[in-house]
Amino acid sequence: MTAPVADKLAAARADLADHDGVVVAFSGGVDSSVVAAIAQDALGDDAVACTAKSETLPAAELADARRVVDEIGIRHEVVEFSELDSQAFVENDDDRCYHCRTMRLGAMFDRARELGIDVVCDGTNASDTGGGHRPGLRAVEELDAYSPLLEHGIDKSEVREIAERYDLSVADKPSMACLSSRIPTGLEVTEQRLTRIEKAERVLRTWGFDQFRVRDHDGIARIEVGADELEAALDPDFAAAAREHIGALGFDHVTLDLAGYRTGSVSPEGETTDPTGDAAGTGGTDPTDGTTQSADGGDDPVVADVFDADYPTADDA
């Protein structure tokens, strides 16, 4: 670790050690994981990681969060709430992230009060404040959550350096905002849309893609993949498999965006992925059992017979 980053880490750790206890808004993404690791280092049993479970958090991300807290050794709490209870969130206007983040952090402050803890920390870092439409940051400020990475000038590259220092498996984990970010602004957020997006993205992850989104344009699935994975997505076998298996999830049409993956592609002009969205889900490794949690807690099949082959071929479809 470079000396400047080591100094920032030491300052953040000393800062957190001055508190009697903290609750860390925790998703299992690299930002919140680093805050949790520093808090555990500084406070031991007085540090608590808290994950907010809702319809916009993929089941695989909750499982990943539980795995990472075990790595860190920090106490873990899970709070449940529903963004769909808020009509303002469901309407999906330019401030959707503000409404979501307000509810999410509010649930964590409620749990912190139950635990007798005054401070809730989030994973906003120094790279998250530059430009763009970032309504989630407004919620962080209004609720007075504390952002130790931002406070000590730790940017995204330094966050990953600190994650390596703590030997966290998520050091290189791609960012992934919550599932509602896949729905174009102005199109209502519904449980049906969130569920089929989650299942479609599980298919892509199972097939080995690393950076991707499935955007839901009212029945049209628009697949975005990273530039270095676009060639694989242009394979005819992939096209046939995606049409069959993703189409079967409730989409009328399945398309591939030739521009590739980019943040904010269904959001207001200038909007970037909400930095606080780390607590709403980030990319990671899914269990490869071919199932995802349904709304009633049961297991629904996502795809059939795709785990033992690269893709089903057009002849197999």
What CATH architecture applies to the domain 3-165? 3-Layer(aba) Sandwich (3.40)
Domain spans of the chain?
A: 3-165, 179-301
* Interval 211-228 mean pLDDT: 94
How many whole angstroms separate alpha carbon 185 and alpha carbon 256?
Answer: 20
Render pLDDT for 244-293 as a digit per residue (tens, 0 to 9). 999 999 999 999 999 998 876 666 543 444 333 343 333 332 222 233 33
Percent over 70 (pLDDT), the chain: 82
Render pLDDT for 122-177 as a digit per residue (tens, 0 to 9). 999 998 887 655 777 888 888 889 999 999 999 999 999 999 999 999 999 877 77
On whether the CB atoms of residues 37 and 31 are closer than 8 A, the answer is no
Within 10 angstroms of residue 252's Cβ, the number of other Cβ atoms is 10
Residues 6+ apart with CB under 8 A from 70: none
Give pLDDT, residue 138: 84
Res. 107: pLDDT tops 50: yes
